[in-house]
Structure 1
Amino acid sequence: MKKKFFKALSKLNKKLLPSFTKKGVDLAKASKLQMALFAYKLWVTKNSLD
């Protein structure tokens, strides 16, 4: 159940949230909001793969 939820959330994030790798954002120079979004997307991805 948990894995299905995170997989669905991951697909939703992919459609709604920006991709920082495609934009070429340097994580060393990223704003706090960009870092928070990156961490959130990383957390969702990690949980969807478990």
Structure 2
Amino acid sequence: MFKIIAKANKFILPSFSKQQLDISKATKWQMAIISWRYFITTRALEE
């Protein structure tokens, strides 16, 4: 299930690493997206 969500995240959510976003200057919504992607990615790797 997490692998499917991870693939959907890749297409739907923006990639801040490609935009070279400095995490210390990220807004709250950007941090929420980063946290969500991290959570899903780690769970998908555990499967």
Percent of aligned pairs with the same amino acid: 41
Structure 2 unaligned regions, length at least 5: none
Matched, 1:46 2:33: no
TM score, norm. by length of structure 1: 0.90
Alignment size in residue pairs = 46
Larger Rg: 1
Higher helix share: 1
Structure 1: gaps spanning 5 or more residues: none
* Structure 1 residue runs of 4 or more that deviate by more than 4 Å after TM superposition: none
